[in-house]
Structure 1
Amino acid sequence: MEYSVDESDTLYAIKFRLDQTIKEVQIGKLGEFNFSSGYYVYVGSAKRNITARVERHLQVDKKKRWHLDYLRPYLSVESVQSYAEEEGECALFRRLKTAHRGSIPIKGFGSSDCQCPAHLFYIEVK
């Protein structure tokens, strides 16, 4: 998959596809969770070098550092989009989740450094 991010941007959204339901995936200290097939969008930020951050998230085999690292081996990458900082990571998450009629599959996923309920949302395939 080809993608490009604007190095002047600091926010990104990665859309993933999960082809079949998976059960009992350990997500760091959050616990074990089941994930339904469909689309998942992860929203993040990088104060510098956004390309390196996104490329790390796209890798499958890596040291597990973030919640997404535990789920990544099961996901196929659909698209990557970068955004300017003005909106803020949490506001971008809320806007995209609302626009896609997404739901939060795991409270706290990707949002341990803010007050958001999560930074991963799920879009059901119909």
Structure 2
Amino acid sequence: MVRGTYTIVVNLPEPETLTVGSLGRQELPPGYYAYTGSAFGPGGFKRVDRHHELAVGERETRHWHIDYLLGDTAARIETVARSPEAEIECAVAREIAETAAVVVEGFGAADCDCPAHLHHHADRDELVAAARGAHDRHG
């Protein structure tokens, strides 16, 4: 089983208001979001498959903050960057934050001291380039 760090880039076509666990109500503008997570737990990168299943309605259970965005909105996964066997989740998230228009405070960062692991950008290509570049530099 392969483990590592991943970033999924999600298209949110319209503004959404979500209630996300202990983070409460979140107002999200339309655009593209990069969510960086760890796949070092049981199953490794199968976690990314689970995110895809939730986004297309094949799964219902919410475990992580990202599940609320993927399962409760019209959001769709555009692409995934992966760094096998590299534990670089926080470094990648911090680098992506430098290019983000919006940092969704606390989102995905419950177990670290990062401001967030979910970042918004209006331009898909810039966000994808930032995510892939961060994985390349830190992986």
TM bucket by the smaller chain?
A: 0.7 to 0.9
Alpha-carbon displacement from aligned partner over 1:47-87 (angstroms, at most 9, x marks no partner): 15333111111222321110111111321110011014546
Distance change (3 Å), C-alpha of 1:96 and 1:87: farther
Structure 1 equivalent of residue 128 of structure 2:
none
* Shift, 1:97, TM fit: 2.9
Structure 1 equivalent of residue 78 of structure 2:
78
Matched, 1:67 2:61: no
Give unpaired runs (5+ residues) of structure 1. 1-6
Distance change (3 Å), C-alpha of 1:94 and 1:84: farther
Q: Which has the higher helix share?
A: 2
Equivalent residues in 2 for 1:69-108, closer than 5 Å: 69-73=67-71, 74=73, 75-86=75-86, 88-98=88-98, 101-108=99-106
Percent identity, please: 34
Structure 2 equivalent of residue 54 of structure 1:
48
Structure 2 equivalent of residue 3 of structure 1:
none
Q: Which amino acid aligns with 2:22?
A: K
Equivalent residues in 2 for 1:1-126, closer than 5 Å: 8-22=2-16, 24-48=17-41, 49-60=43-54, 61-73=59-71, 74=73, 75-86=75-86, 88-98=88-98, 101-125=99-123
The TM-score with structure 2 as length reference comes to 0.74
**What do you get for the CA RMSD once the two structures are aligned?**
2.0
For the 8 Å contact 2:97–2:119, the answer to whether it is kept is: yes
SS at match of 2:45: helix
* Shift, 1:89, TM fit: 0.9
Q: Which amino acid aligns with 2:119?
A: F
